[in-house]
Amino acid sequence: MIDLKKHTYKLIMIAFFLLLWSCNDTEHQKPALETLNLVSSIPANNDNEVSFRESQVSFIFSENIKLNQPQNIEINGELAQRVTVNMSELRIDVSLQPNTTYIIEIPKNQITGRESGAMSGKIEIVFKTQDVELSKLVIDNPSIQTQKLYNYLKSITGEKMITGTMANVSWNINEAEWVRYHTGEYPALNCFDYIHLYASPSSWIDYENISVIENWWQNNGLVAAMWHWNVPKSNSSNSYAFYSKETDFDVSRAVIEGTDEYDIVIADLNKIADNLLLLNDKNIPILWRPLHEASGRWFWWGAKGAMPAKKLWQMMFDVFNDKGLNNLIWIWTSDGNDDEWYPGDDYVDLIGADIYDKDLGSIVSFYENMKRKYPNKMLALSEYGNISNLSEQWAKNVKWLWAMPWYDYERTLTIEGVEFKKESHQFANKSYWQNIFEMKDIIVYRNNVPNLK
């Protein structure tokens, strides 16, 4: 005879243990793996109005991630240099330029989810930075030729690079002749220096004789000019200097009306304006680069800091404007960390850089920094020596408007004799120039400058 109570109890206990076993088994089973997904990116894919002032691109994933090594993320074909992970976010430091398309590629298996494993598919986003309109000339009534030159510069910026040479000391094309002797081509630009203005006109220097500049311009050469501004070494001195360590001339007093220094500066400004007017009368536009390297303080015009240097620049601008000079394109020289020295957008047309003895990486960083700071100004390599080939710089998107190595005094003191014929050069030797002219589709030399007259 079956005991129903005992039988029922056994059935209940069996059911209970089966249920308990079932629950424990379920707890030990792992959930089905989910696929790691990209949730969003900043900038978004196909965004065409990205600010070039952004310094980071970020990717947000569906779970916390880790970055597999070696890191192979690329920006426009170049390996990204700084990539970090913060939980579900991957961040890439970037240095963006205006009006540029960027492609960021994250290869498959580069990213691993903490729960779901490596991402098997490649990630790619494309975006474009905002365009920037280049500024107009800062003078109100530029001459026809000056406007033509500026329009030409704007038309080629980022596409072509103008070759240039510096006069040996002041008033010649000796360096340009040396380049032609060794390469068969003249550079497009030659820069002259009013360094001896205090002595001109005299038997040994006369800036009123502009024939060398006229001939260069008539042969389609572009003209630049600068001014190593010599001032009296002291109040009672008849000798002159431009280095701070060689003169006690005080620029902070020179910008204050009523001082002796002010009178000297105003007299010099009127004198050089009269010399520049000789070129203006011949319809010759000038790429004008005064008060260069001021923030270095080794020249007297920068020795007392930013404020008097800026004031002196503005004084020069006003004197030249009053004189009716309308053939100048104003170029300010920056060292990259001198924002407080900048005279202002209303006084500057182009930004120049004087670079010596720096490696390619340093130049790339400098250029990208300048592009961000002055997006509506063109950038020129206004002086240089002992740096990487321009072709290497161009390949890294360092696209100077023009590039001008400094002169070699001994090599081009004259255009005759043994020294002139040597292939070596202090800053840019024969092979360096040959490398430049091999950039045929990019380089502008004198023979392919358009008629700007």
The Cβ of residue 381 has, within 10 Å, a number of other Cβ atoms equal to: 24
Q: How many helices (H) and strands (E) does the chain have?
A: 11, 23
Burial class (CB in 10 A: 0-12, 13-18, 19+), 400: buried
- Beta strand ranges found along 37-184 (DSSP E): 38-42, 47-50, 56-61, 65-67, 74-75, 78-79, 83-86, 89-93, 101-106, 111-113, 117-118, 123-129, 161-166
383 is catalytic: yes
Residue found under tokens 């380089």: 443
d(CA 428, CA 385) in angstroms, rounded, equals 7
- Rounded CA separation 54/66 (Å): 24
CA distances from 173 to 20, 73, 145, 281, 434 (A): 98, 48, 22, 22, 19
Provide the token pair at 240. Answer: 């002159």
Burial track 46-72 (b if 16+ CB lie within 10 A, e otherwise): eeeebebeeeebebebbeebeeeeeee
* Residue 423 appears among annotated catalytic residues: no
DSSP letter at 225 equals E
What whole-number distance in Å separates Cα of residue 87 and Cα of residue 79?
23
Cβ-Cβ contacts under 8 Å for 205 (sequence gap 6 or more): 170, 171, 196, 199
Q: Does residue 154 contact residue 378 with C-beta atoms inside 8 Å?
A: yes
Give the H or E element holding residue 279. Answer: helix 260-281
Cβ burial of 253 (10 Å; 0-12, 13-18, 19+) is: middle
Q: What SS3 class is residue 403?
A: strand
How many angstroms separate the CA atoms of 441 and 453, rounded?
24
Please report, for residues 139, 200, 224, 266, 373, the alpha-carbon distance to residue 132 in angstroms, rounded to integers and kept in the order given: 21, 43, 26, 37, 12
Could you tell me where the DSSP H helices lie in 124-259?
Answer: 144-156, 174-183, 211-218, 251-254
Nearest-angstrom CA–CA distance, 343 and 105: 41
Question: Which of the following is catalytic: 54, 383, 410, 423?
Answer: 383
Nearest partner of 183 among 448, 445, 449, judged by Cα: 445
- Out of 293, 392, 416, 438, the active site residue is 293
Q: Which residues are catalytic?
A: 293, 383
